[in-house]
Amino acid sequence: MLFPVYWMVNVSFTRTQDMRRTPPALFPLHGTLDGYRAVLRDQLPYLGTSLLIGVATVALTLVLAAPAGYALAKLRPRGGGVLNFALLVAQMIPGIIMAIGFYAAFIKLGVLNTIPGLVLADSTIAVPFGVLIYTAFMSGIPDELMAAARVDGASTWRTFVSVVLPVSRNATVTVSLFAFLWAWSDFIFASTLASGSKLQPITMGIYRYIGNNNQEWGSIMATAVVASVPAAVLLVLAQRYVAAGVTAGAVKD
Amino acid sequence: MRTLEQGGGAGSRQGAGAQPSGRASQDGTRSGGSRPRAGGRRRSPASVSQLTAWAFAAPVVVYLVAFYAVPLYRNFDLSLRDYTVRSFVQGGAQFNDFANYVKVFQDPTFWPALGHTLVFTFVSIGVQFALGMALAVFFFQNFKLSTTLRALFLVPWLLPLIVSASTWAWMLNSDSGVVNYALSLVGVSPVNWLTSPQWALVSVIVANIWIGIPFNLVIVYSGLQSIPGDIYEAASLDGAGAWQKFWRITFPLLRPVSAITLLLGLVYTLKVFDIIWIMTRGGPGDSSQTFATWSYQESFGNVLPRFGTGSAISTLLILMALVAGLVYIRAQHRQENS
């Protein structure tokens, strides 16, 4: 299971002249940092763009998802079931369909090849998921807590901001984590909605490398390693949220 | 921070005292109860709380309409029109009835792409589910390092797809890939994994299974946690072996979780695009073309985009996803009711 990950790291340190050797070197004995130098040389702008897009997507997702989750979990709007259903269906729409639709709409709006456009598109991967996670989590907050805030004279908004949101920290971490990772690793929107843009995310950086005829696998794999760093860091920091996120998103019990 | 603590403190202090009144007002006035004067004159407290509730949900409703309904509508609209680059930008493309769909159905790629989509989807979810379950059962036996290893096994799933896909592409490289080298050690002659029509689909399926295992592992593992331990103890007392315990207890009790996992897998796998596109671009020929890659190929893969047929293909794809989705939602309802 972990071999491909190891291999990626191994190849990223391999010298170009050793790349096509038989047998392939199982350890980077003649290790080189050339691949990583290439990353520093070519890929920094891509990484910066991805970071920016990731953070903006997280912010947008949280702003939209948290109040909706609160409404669905605690305020029980009439017709909330329909909204829930719409969110479930939204998660099932293939990215290519969204991409074609966005392309057509973005041309008209003039946001094709811009970062805000890409952020909007990327957020569609995470928003329905975010609402469902928040709903599942906030349903578990005891009603008494909110009743108490009400007795203290807090408005619904105030209760939401000062009581419900702080208590829902775990849900916020889970949603942010996934929103960031999905935006970071998005390829389909980047390649369709930002292919003419000056600022492109790291997935396009890798794609360009692969597209080159002289395929420098050392540099490609080094970029791949660097592009995986956020996933690795987040995994270490937020292990239990990852598992919680998957299960809460899929199985309700 | 201060408001936070105040809120929490007040809540816990008054929580006990507020309980009875809180319960009493629970039916009609959820949030409206907090400001009895605001809605007292014209609107009943219930409708005020309804308004508040929808005010909180409104941004997402607007969002769903603007960023799901509109692109979906645009996609469908495109599939019914005769588009060229010019008419795409300037508008005024003509409706051509269902000519795009007819073109798609008559395209020589149609049947292979349908077949590949089905094979790719069902083989992927079947194998990744079986392996995911095997690993979940394995990790459930709380040995040393179990937690650490389980976390590490999540890595493939969190990596950007383009990273996994390019890593597999290099591992499966005909001349210098490590897979062919490993095969040569056991005397198998090199296989052109990505460049021969008979192996390209297999290659992308293998990579996709590898990416899908962690997801299955996590969900099945959480399902295992909900099985009460004393059932196993009782079975042990009756002299059941490990294999019997799995088939007679674990497997049947996991059925609801398994159903959800498989259906989610179905929905996710139908839309897999990145892996195939990066590894083979649907080729060689159309040998690993699925509806997702074909649609992308038509819409964005050519010098002159063919949005009409591209969106017709993706409309067919969404019909497939919707069928899977409806089955999923029904299954989840049944599980909730049981």
- The CATH number for A238's domain is 1.10.3720.10
Better-predicted residue by pLDDT, A207 or A252: A207
Quote the pLDDT of residue B4.
34
Quote the pLDDT of residue B95.
77
Residues of A in contact with B59 (CB under 8 A): 63-64, 67-68
Asked whether the beta carbons of A98 and A182 are under 8 A apart, the reply is no
ipTM over 0.95: no
Quote the pLDDT of residue B89.
63
Domain annotation covers residue A79: yes
Give the pair of three-digit tokens for residue B6: 């105040």
Is there a contact between B219 and A247 if contact means CB atoms under 8 Å apart? yes
Highest mean pLDDT: which range of A116-120, B20-24, B148-152, B249-253: A116-120
Range of the domain at A239: 51-200+230-247
Identify which of B158, B181, B261 has the shortest CB distance to residue A24.
B181
Per-residue pLDDT band for A41 (boundaries 50, 70, 90) equals: confident
Phi first, then psi, for residue B82 (nearest 5°) are -95, 100
Work out the average pLDDT over A126-137: 89
Q: How far apart are CA A231 and CA A185, in angstroms?
A: 9
Instruction: Say whether pLDDT at B128 is over 90.
Output: yes
Cis peptide before A45, with omega less than 30 degrees from 0? no
| B251 vs A: CB within 8 A | no
Identify which of A127, A166, A252 has the shortest CB distance to residue B63.
A127
Quick: pLDDT tens for A212-238: 655 677 888 888 888 888 888 887 777
Quote the pLDDT of residue B7.
34
Quote the pLDDT of residue A127.
92
Instruction: Say whether pLDDT at B36 is over 60.
Output: no
User: What ranges in B238-290 are assigned the alpha helix state H?
Assistant: 242-245, 251-253, 255-270, 274-279
Quick: pLDDT tens for B283-308: 788 888 999 999 999 888 877 778 88
Nearest chain A CA: its distance from B235 CA (Å): 26
Least confident of A104-113, A214-223, B46-55, B82-91: B82-91
Q: How far apart are CA B71 and CA B68, in angstroms?
A: 6
Give the pair of three-digit tokens for residue A139: 């349903």
- Map residue B324 onto helix, strand or coil: helix
The 3-class secondary structure across B53-105, one letter per residue, is HHHHHHHHHHHHHHHHHHHHHHHHHHHCEECCHHHHHHCCCEECCCHHHHHHH
Quick: pLDDT tens for A151-160: 888 888 888 9
Q: Which of A92, A178, A241 to mutate to test the interface with B (most CBs of B within 10 A)?
A: A92
Q: How far apart are CA B158 and CA A174, in angstroms?
A: 13
Highest mean pLDDT: which range of A28-42, A68-82, B137-151, B299-313: A68-82
Highest mean pLDDT: which range of A202-211, B53-62, B121-130, B184-193: B121-130
Burial grade of A12 (CB within 10 A; 0-12, 13-18, 19 or more): buried
CATH architecture designation of domain B85-337: Orthogonal Bundle (1.10)
Instruction: Say whether pLDDT at B328 is over 50.
Output: yes
Asked whether the beta carbons of B88 and A104 are under 8 A apart, the reply is yes
Q: Which of B49, B51, B170 to mutate to test the interface with A (most CBs of A within 10 A)?
A: B170
Per-residue pLDDT band for B119 (boundaries 50, 70, 90) equals: very high
Chain B residue with CA closest to A79: the answer is B54
Residues of B in contact with A64 (CB under 8 A): 59-60, 63
Quick: pLDDT tens for A52-68: 999 999 999 999 999 99
| A233 vs B: CB within 8 A | no
Q: Which of B35, B159, B281 to mutate to test the interface with A (most CBs of A within 10 A)?
A: B159
Q: How many domains does chain A have?
A: 1
The interface residues of chain A toward chain B in range 87-146, judged by CB-CB distance below 8 A, are 87-105, 107, 120-121, 123-124, 127, 131, 143-145
Quick: pLDDT tens for B62-74: 888 888 888 888 8
Chain B residue with CA closest to A130: the answer is B60
Domain annotation covers residue A10: no
Domain annotation covers residue A125: yes
Q: How far apart are CA B93 and CA B87, in angstroms?
A: 5
Residues of A in contact with B292 (CB under 8 A): 94, 96
Domain annotation covers residue A185: yes
Residue type, A155: S
Is there a contact between A235 and B155 if contact means CB atoms under 8 Å apart? yes
Give the pair of three-digit tokens for residue B298: 């038509």
Domain annotation covers residue A170: yes
Domain annotation covers residue A140: yes
Quote the pLDDT of residue B58.
87
CA A172, A173, A176 angle in degrees (round to 5)? 80
What residues have CB less than 8 Å from B200, skipping those under 6 apart? B193, B194, B280, B283, B284, B287, B288
Identify which of A147, A159, A210 has the shortest CB distance to residue B18.
A147
Instruction: Say whether pLDDT at B42 is over 70.
Output: no
Chain-wide mean pLDDT for chain B?
Answer: 78
Domain annotation covers residue A39: no
Better-predicted residue by pLDDT, A58 or B191: A58
Predicted TM-score (pTM) of the model is 0.82
Domain annotation covers residue A18: no
Asked whether the beta carbons of A188 and A95 are under 8 A apart, the reply is yes
Work out the average pLDDT over B55-65: 88
Is there a contact between B57 and A83 if contact means CB atoms under 8 Å apart? yes
User: What ranges in chain B are assigned the alpha helix state H?
Assistant: 2-24, 45-64, 70-79, 85-90, 99-106, 110-139, 146-152, 155-158, 161-171, 178-185, 197-225, 229-237, 242-245, 251-253, 255-270, 274-279, 291-300, 307-337
Is there a contact between B71 and A98 if contact means CB atoms under 8 Å apart? yes
Asked whether the beta carbons of B97 and B82 are under 8 A apart, the reply is no
Is there a contact between B171 and A7 if contact means CB atoms under 8 Å apart? yes
Is there a contact between B322 and A89 if contact means CB atoms under 8 Å apart? yes
The residue with tokens 């980077």 is A28
Quote the pLDDT of residue B209.
94
Instruction: Say whether pLDDT at A175 is over 60.
Output: yes
Nearest chain A CA: its distance from B238 CA (Å): 30
Q: How far apart are CA A157 and CA A164, in angstroms?
A: 10
Paired residues of B82 in beta bridges: B94
Work out the average pLDDT over A24-46: 77
Instruction: Say whether pLDDT at B2 is over 90.
Output: no
Least confident of A214-223, B42-51, B200-209: B42-51
Nearest chain A CA: its distance from B243 CA (Å): 24
